Amino acid sequence: METREILQKLQQGEMTLEEAEGHLRREPFEEMGYAKLDLHRKVRSGFPEVIFCSGKSPDHLKAIFRKLYETEGEVLGTRASAEQFEMIRQELPQTVYDPLSHIIKIEKKDKKLSGCIAVCTAGTADIAVAEEAAQTAEYFGSYVERIYDVGVSGIHRLLARLPQIQAANCIVAVAGMEGALASVMGGLVDKPVIAVPTSIGYGASFHGVSALLTMINSCANGIAVVNIDNGYGAGYIATQINRLAGEEKTTHGS
């Protein structure tokens, strides 16, 4: 619970002085022995802690998921398996799972989405990573325009959606193979482009290294690159940019 929310509840009589004091006296993390949950992360950075589910034991994951949900009223987990989802859903039936992006989550109802982020893929095979980026951004409150399968092998498909792409506050370009999509977009827009190399491709693509090197060495300006298949990282950064764009409009708009 954020400090402002605690003070509002105290002011409105929904929380006693002792309860408010107890919340404010809590350590900035929850000690669980096997994990130290950063419960003040949202206060510091504007984003709550997110669970990387892969590799966690069933008991640890279940307890971490439950604690974050109790604290925040919502929770997001990435790289989750169907088995992990079924385990958590037994205890928290409102949990939902997307088998394409491997995202597991509980979201607050009636969430308002603001701004605009364009999440684009070179091919259909890149959509799993793109959905991790898109759903991460949506979870954090950003509106996302999905523009899939617009790679350079048929660039007319990209040009047909250019108005929507140029209207976004930032662009996420997800591509495997040689990773050329980010460079093309960097030359067509006046907004930041977050390039996401994927591990999609034949042998010489080296599981995404080829796309990663292409994106890092792009001659187009305004491109930042995240790690191979790191859709979550791209969605997080895109949301930060989208929020800044909203603050700019609020501060300087009519």
Mean of the per-residue pLDDT values of the chain: 88
CA 162 centroid distance within chain: 23
User: What's the pTM?
Assistant: 0.83
What architecture (CATH level 2) is domain 114-250?
3-Layer(aba) Sandwich (3.40)
Q: How far apart are CA 99 and CA 25, in angstroms?
A: 40
- Residue 122's contacts (CB-CB under 8 Å, 6 or more residues apart) are 149, 150, 151, 152, 173, 174, 175, 176, 177, 179, 180, 181
pLDDT higher than threshold 70 for residue 253: no
pLDDT exceeds 60 at position 139 = yes
30: pLDDT strictly greater than 70: no
Q: What is the pLDDT at residue 214? A: 94
For range 89-104, the mean pLDDT = 94
pLDDT above 70 (res 116): yes
* Mean pLDDT value of segment 22-42: 68
pLDDT band per the 50, 70, 90 thresholds, residue 252: very low
Which tops the pLDDT comparison, 216 or 22?
216
> How far, CA to CA in Å, does 156 sit from each of 115, 149, 160?
26, 11, 6
Hey, where are the domains in the chain? 3-106, 114-250
